[in-house]
Each structure stands twice: as C-alpha cells, then as structure tokens.
Chains A and B, each alone.
Chain A
Amino acid sequence: MKKSTALIFGYNEYTFEIEKNIKSVYEHIYILKLGSDGEDSFDLSDNWDSLNQKVNIDDCVAFCILEDMAENIFLTISLRDTFKDLTIVALSEDQESADKLKLAGATRVIPSTQTTANVIIDILEKPIATEVLHNILYEKSNLKISQITIEDHTLFDGKYPTDIEWSRDHGIIIMSVYHEDGSSEFIYSSKASHHIVQSGDIFVVVGYDEDIKEFEKLIGTKCEK
C-alpha cells in the first residue's frame, strides 16, 4: 500500500535532494533536525511521542540520512525498535555501515559511495548503455520502466515468459520476473525455462508509455510507474 507521508531525519544537502525528488510521490513531507530544540526536531532518546502525535506512523516512510554513520545507525535501531512495520530507507557511506544499517533494521540501504562509484564506472565504460538506462530510470525520455502484476494468469495459457512475443506483439521488453514467493529472475537467466506465468508474478517491463498503457488494458492490471 502506498504511503502518503515521508519523514526525513537529518538536515543536510541530501535532505534537499531527496525532498526535491519525492515531493511528487508524497502528500506530506516532514524534515526533522537532530537536536532537542523546536517542533521539527528529534533526539536519539527513544521517545517518539511527539512524532506519534504529529503523524500516523503506519502511513509513513522514514528516510534516515544523518551524515554521522554511528548516529544514523542508532536512529535506525531506535525507529525499528519502536515502529516494527515502518519502511526505513537509510543512507550509508560504505559497505561496512550498509551492513550495520541492515542489521539495525533498515528496509532499504542506499550505499552512496558504492553507487557513485558504479555510476562513474558505467559512464566511463558503457556511456551509451548508461545514458539509455538513465533516460529510462529517471524518465528523461518517453521510455519508462514499470512493474506489472499479473492478476489473471489464464490470459497467458500456461506459457513460459520467454515464449510470449512481448516485444513484437505488445512493443514492450520484459526485463525480469518477481515471483509471489519473493524470488526473482532475469527473463533469460538460464537456457531452460522453469517458470510458467502465474497470478501474482510481477514483471519489470520497459516500453513507451502508450504501449505500457495498452498492455495494462490487455491484462486488466494497473501498472505501477
């Protein structure tokens, strides 16, 4: 279920970039500074009463972006300890802090240094493929990447994903399949096909907006874009 409120813990340059990018996704965004003064502040004392009064925590996603990694990990543990079901996205500096943040209960960790290094290398080694990926991922062109949940598998009549002419018939390219049990595989991960299309499968597809909409109509499922 989509959440309507974002809580950004930390006030630094990352705060503005994250706020700029997510403001179209969330109805309310709260930026909370580390400290004991003011309404929009928080401390690491494990007392989240004021936050609970301010927002419905079940409808929130938390972004832990404190630049001091020890404090960021402590904040993540503190939030996880209090709010068992809260989605926590945490920023990590390196692999070591990423591992600790995962242990602390972060739902998703963004390793800033590693991601930066990966993108720099892609720009140098695969400039064209990187540009194409960026255009798709960051919606700089009409191409979009979407995830489509199959609700009625009978439409595919017991076929394997690789047997369906997605690109010719529907103008879209299937990248990978996420199964209901949480496992995932790239569309051509092995030479043999093991998995028949089933209800609940999520297909990650790339295509033009209109083709994806057409496909959405065909399978009667709302795509998440």
Chain B
Amino acid sequence: MMKSLIINFAYYLDTSSSYQKTKRFFYNLLENSDYKYKKYFDIFMIILIFSSVAILIREVKSHVNDSLLFFNNYVISFIFLIEYILRLWISSSVSKIIISQLEHDVMLSDTFRFSKALKDILFSKLKYIVSVKAIIDLLAIIPFFHQLRLLRIFILFRVFKLFRYAKSIQTFTSIITAKKFEFFTLFIFASIIIFVSSVIIYVMEANNPNSSINTLFEAVYWSIVTISTVGYGDITPVSAEGQVVAMFVIISGIGVFSFTTSLIVTSFTEKLDEIKDLKVIDDIAKIKNFYLVCGYEKVAKEVVQKLSKRNKVIILEEDIQKVEAAKKEGFTALNYDPGSIHSYKKLRININLQVKAILCLSHSDVENVYTALTIRSFNKDIFILSILKNKANRNKLNFAGVNEIFYEKELVGIIAKEFVGQPVAFEAIHALRSNITNIDIEEIIVNDRILQSFSTVGCLENIKYRIVLLGVYESSKKRFLFNPIDSTLLEKGDYLVVIGNTQFLKEFNTHLHTKVSK
C-alpha cells in the first residue's frame, strides 16, 4: 500500500508539468550560466555576501543598529538556507530514482525494492551534502546561531560562496586545480624544509638565553615567516649555527617563491587561449543573426572582410594557423572542426535562432561536403551556401543539402564573355556590384508603413530623389516587373529594386518610411 502510494507519487511528480517547470526554473537560476536571469540572482547574492561581511567588520569596534544585525543574522541566513535547500532539491531527482528502480525491478520480474531506491536517494543527496561547495553553503548559514559568538566568524564563509557566483574566481580555481600535482609537490617540499629547519633552529636556539626562540611553535613560526620571504624580524637567530640554518631557509624560500610564481604564470599561459575561447563562446551565445563561415582561405577572407562591415561573422576553422591569421585581421575565429557535431554542441550555437546562413568556403570540396552533411544531420532548414572547386563534385554538394552552390570558374567564364561582348555594359554592372563609384543597387521591402502613403509605383517619386526604379518583385506571384507603369499597385511583401547614389538611396528610403499622409 505504502509502496504503491510512493510509486504513484513519483510518477505524478515526474509527469507534472508545473512541478518540472518549477524545478527547471530553479535549476536554471542556480546552475545554468546561459540562463538570462542567473546573472541578476548572482549579483543579488554577491551583494548579500558583501553587506554581511561589512556588518561584521563594523561590529568589531562600533555599535551596529539592531535592525542591521537582525538582517545579517536572520534575513541573510534565511535566504542562504532557502538557497541551500533549493540546491539540495535540484541536485538529483528523487522521483526519477524511484521510477528507475521500479522499471529495473519490473524488467527482472522482481518486486519493487523500496529500500534500494531509498539508499540511492540518500546516497545521491549525501554526495551533494559532502561536496566542498555544499559545505561552504552550510557553514555560511551557521551565523544564524549568532548567540554562539565563535560561530559568527563563519560569516567569513559567506565570502567563499563567491566561488559560486563569480565566474572569474571559478576560472582561477580551475587553473590552480589543473596544476594540483605540482602544487602538492611544492607543498611537500616546503613542509619538509619548514619541519627540518624548525627542529634544527629549536635545537640550536632554545637553550640560548639571548634567543627569542623558546618554543617549537616559535621555531615553526620563524621558519614559515622566513621561507615565505616575508621576514618580519621579530624573531631572529642569534647563534652562528642558527644563522647558518637561516641562510639555508632563506635560499630555499627563494626557490619556493619562484617555483610558486612560475607555476601560476605557466598555468595561466597554458590556459589563456582556452579562457579566451570560453569568453568568445559565451559572447557568441548572446549574438543573434550572424553568418557562420566554415573554413578560412582566400575566398573566405574576402567574404568575411566585406560581410563583417554590416554583419556579425563567426569563423570555424580546424587549422590553428589559419585561425590565428583570421584573428590578426580582427575577425572572430574559433579553432573548431566545422565538420564535427561536437563543435556545434560545445559552442552552444542555436542554429535556428542565431545563424542567418552557413557559408562553406573551404578550398576543398571534400571538407565542404562533409561540413554541409554534418549541419544537415541536425538542421534541415538553415540556408547553406558552398563554393565548388571541382565541377565533378557539384552533385555531391547538392546531395549534402547545400542550397546555393557557387562555382568560381563558371563565373570567370561568364565575366569573360560579358567583357568581350559588351565591355561598357560590363563596366557599368561591375561598378554597380563593387560600389566603387558610390552607386549601389538595393532592394526595399514594401511594408505597411510604405503602403500607407504609397499604394502605386507612380506615387514613389523616385525620379525626384534621383533613383532608378529597375522594377518591382511581386512576392505573391514570384515574378519581377521590369520598369513598371505608374498605375502598378504595390502589395505588402513586394520588393522595390532600386539603383542610385548611396546617399540618395538613404534619402529615398527615409522618404518612403516617413511620409505618412499625402
């Protein structure tokens, strides 16, 4: 009876959308660094931590207002307690453990072993409770029992909670952790030196009436102060033997100090690129509507250079030297293989929401086919453009799901024909394309605002604005009307294809969007 109640309740929790939604919300708020509201929560907690420490410092020598003390001892502690409980809640799913155990037992035609499920639940929760971060959280709540004066020092544990909220501290910790073996070796070396020198200095100096080293504790204190190269000078050896030991400790201290410094510097240098990449990945997660360029070679360089004037562009390139070259040009480039699904997962790019189009611009058809297939394997809709280097591979790119294939040699052939056939016309189009004479071609979408004032082509007044209206693209009929007559009706979604001086085009665009009534 009890077991069936528990199973039903577990299934209820697992299938309840409101419960799961609430749990997901708290998970995002506390753990998901991509969640947009997490940073506000983190800032709030950091403020609480600093105000708590500020009150503690103030309290040492001055009287602190009772309401502030109440706030510090109860309100902040209570908030931390709630946070602790929430973290314990989201650390594992009780309902999932029960259901998993049940399904396992059913599969083996066994009766449901609640005790095993309970054991797993306790183990998972205990695992969280004994983690360093959870212990710090718990200690930060202790000042709640402020009557015990000693326990008030636990307020300082609240400072350690900063590890949870400040990403830079987490990065620093991870860098230091990566070198834990080296640090451990250093620690052992320093400990041996301290131990040996403390014992020797104690033996040499303790019985000397002129020496200030009388106890082993003082000897250890002197060793640590000396080896750390701090050297207060409050305790100094007076015997010649003691001074020899001091010289030995000082020299060892220099070694320990330089070793520590070099370890930290090396860790940072080794991790610097990784840290920078992580920062870029975080930044990319916030960008919307960018072009993803896969491969960085000659064509890609030109495309990115021009495209990045008006758009955000991210480059993925497997070759580190090419990545460096792209970075030198001031582009955002990442050393990831564009042909690997893992790269996109690691970069946390939401292709549907963030990417405008994907450009496969590697000079190898094999790589472009591979990249296109990789992207198509998890996204069917994104627009993919690829260059083609060998004509024989066109079908392969088509098969890989590329929307637009661009064959450079074919373009050169067509240009050659235009040039020999109509050199002047060719020059005119070339000038228009490359915008070298400030003349540009633009397409202006007809929206509600334009339609309010301009219902027909005749109303547009393009001649007055020194603009050539080449034609209107009718979206509903998917056809281009060249040189339309004045009475042509405009419809929402149509495109005006116009040519003109860049400045005149701007003025014309403003005219279309600002004229409300005639």
Contact = CB atoms under 8 A, between A and B. Distances in A.
Interface stretch (A31-39, A48-56, A89-97): A89-97
B485 to A, nearest CB: 8
Interface string A119-134: 1111111111101110
Contact of B497 (A26, A114, A129, A184): A129
A18 interface: yes
Contact of B441 (A22, A121, A129, A224): A129
Contacts of B423: 108
B483 A207 contact: yes
B470 A206 contact: yes
A118 B433 contact: yes
A61 B422 contact: no
B427 interface: yes
B420 A93 contact: no
Contacts of B412: 14, 17-18, 65, 91, 110, 112, 115
Contact of B306 (A118, A127, A141, A190): A118
B419 A120 contact: no
Nearest to A211: B483
A117 B306 contact: yes
A147 B501 contact: no
A104 interface: no
Interface stretch (B119-127, B194-202, B326-334, B402-410): B402-410
A200 interface: no
A167 interface: yes
Interface string A1-32: 00000100000011011111110011000000
A92 B421 CA distance: 20
B303 A117 contact: yes
Interface residues of B, number: 63
Among A6, A17, A187, the one with the most B-chain Cβ atoms within 10 Å of its Cβ is A17
B415 A110 contact: yes
Interface string B403-441: 010101111111111111111110111011110010101
Contact of A25 (B414, B421, B437, B504): B421
A157 B443 CA distance: 35
Contacts of A45: none
A207 B425 CA distance: 13
B387 interface: yes
Interface string B364-393: 000000000000000000000101001100
A186 B433 CA distance: 13
Nearest to B480: A132
Contact of B391 (A13, A146, A162, A208): A13
A197 interface: no
A25 B417 CA distance: 8
A14 B413 CA distance: 7
A126 B441 contact: yes
Among B385, B416, B442, the one with the most A-chain Cβ atoms within 10 Å of its Cβ is B416
B359 A133 contact: no
B149 interface: no
Contacts of B433: 118-119, 122, 133
Given A18-B416, A94-B298, A126-B442, A176 B411 contact: no
Contacts of A178: 424, 427
A120 B468 contact: no
B454 interface: no
A34 to B, nearest CB: 18
A143 interface: yes
A131 B473 CA distance: 11
Contacts of A117: 299, 302-303, 305-306
B458 to A, nearest CB: 11
B298 A113 contact: yes
A225 B307 CA distance: 33
Contact of B417 (A22, A113, A141, A145): A22
B416 A124 contact: no
A145 B425 contact: yes
Given A129-B441, A175-B468, A204 B306 contact: no
Contacts of A26: 420
B500 interface: yes
A191 interface: yes
Contacts of A190: 466, 501
Contact of A17 (B307, B387, B404, B410): B410
Contacts of A146: 422, 425
Given A22-B416, A145-B425, A191 B466 contact: yes
A204 B439 CA distance: 15
A173 interface: yes
A137 interface: yes
A9 to B, nearest CB: 13
B302 A116 contact: yes
Nearest to B473: A128
B387 to A, nearest CB: 7
Given A132-B473, A145-B422, A189-B439, A89 B302 contact: no
A188 interface: yes
Given A94-B298, A110-B419, A116-B387, A129 B442 contact: yes
A121 B303 contact: yes
A83 interface: no
B482 interface: yes
Contacts of B387: 116, 120
5 contacts: A13-B409, A17-B413, A119-B411, A120-B303, A143-B482
Given A108-B423, A204-B424, 9 more contacts: A22-B413, A25-B421, A89-B416, A110-B412, A129-B497, A132-B470, A147-B422, A189-B439, A204-B425
Interface of A: 6, 13-14, 16-22, 25-26, 61, 63, 65, 89, 91, 93-94, 108, 110, 112-129, 131-133, 135-138, 141, 143, 145-147, 162, 167, 171-176, 178, 184, 186-191, 202, 204, 206-208, 224-225
Which 7 pairs show the lowest CB-CB distances between chains A and B? A17-B413, A117-B302, A188-B466, A21-B417, A21-B413, A147-B424, A204-B428
